[in-house]
Amino acid sequence: MTFPEPLLRALRNARKVAALTGAGVSAESGVPTFRNAQTGLWAQFKPEELATPGAFLKNPRLVWEWYEWRRQLVQNAKPNPAHFALAEMENKFPGFTLITQNVDGLHQRAGSRKVIEIHGNITRTKCFQEDTVVTQWNETGEVPPKCPRCGGLLRPDVVWFEEALPEIPTEAAFAASRDCDVFLCIGTSAVVYPAASLPLEALQHQATVIEINPEVTPLTSRASYVLNGPAGEILPGLLTEVTRA
Ligand code: BJW
**Catalytic residue ranges:** 119
Closest ligand 1 atom, CA of 34?
66
Sign for the CA dihedral angle at 63, 163, 129, 127 comes to positive
pLDDT recorded at residue 207: 98
Chain segment 36-74, per-residue pLDDT in tens = 767 766 778 888 889 999 999 999 999 999 999 999 999
Nearest CA to 28 out of 70, 72, 69, 78 is that of 78
Q: Which residues line ligand 1 (CB under 6 A)?
A: 22-24, 27-28, 33-35, 51, 101, 103, 119, 158-164, 187-189, 191-194, 212-215, 217, 230-232
Please provide the DSSP assignment of 36-56 as one string. SPP-GGGGGS-HHHHSSHHHH
- Residue 105 and residue 153 in contact, taking contact as beta carbons nearer than 8 Å: no
Please provide the DSSP assignment of 160-194 as one string. PTTSPPPHHHHHHHHHHHHH-SEEEEES--S-STT
Q: For a pocket test of ligand 1, which of 49, 102, 192, 219 has the largest count of ligand atoms closer than 8 A to its C-beta? A: 192
Q: Is 124 helix (H, G, I), strand (E, B) or coil?
A: strand
Q: Is 225 helix (H, G, I), strand (E, B) or coil?
A: strand
Distance (angstroms) between ligand 1 centre and the Cα of 245 equals 38
Closest ligand 1 atom, CA of 162?
26
pLDDT recorded at residue 42: 77
Chain segment 106-124, per-residue pLDDT in tens = 999 999 999 999 999 999 9
Distance (angstroms) between ligand 1 centre and the Cα of 160 equals 9
Q: How many other C-beta atoms can be found within 10 angstroms of the C-beta atom of residue 90?
A: 18
Closest ligand 1 atom, CA of 197?
7
Nearest CA to 214 out of 230, 199, 225 is that of 230
List per-residue pLDDT tens for the chain, 245 residues long.
899 999 999 999 999 999 999 999 999 999 999 887 677 667 788 888 899 999 999 999 999 999 999 999 999 999 999 999 999 999 999 899 999 999 999 999 999 999 999 999 999 999 999 999 999 999 999 999 999 999 999 999 999 999 999 999 999 999 999 999 999 999 999 999 999 999 999 999 999 999 999 999 999 999 999 999 999 999 999 999 999 86
pTM of the entire predicted model: 0.97
pLDDT recorded at residue 41: 67
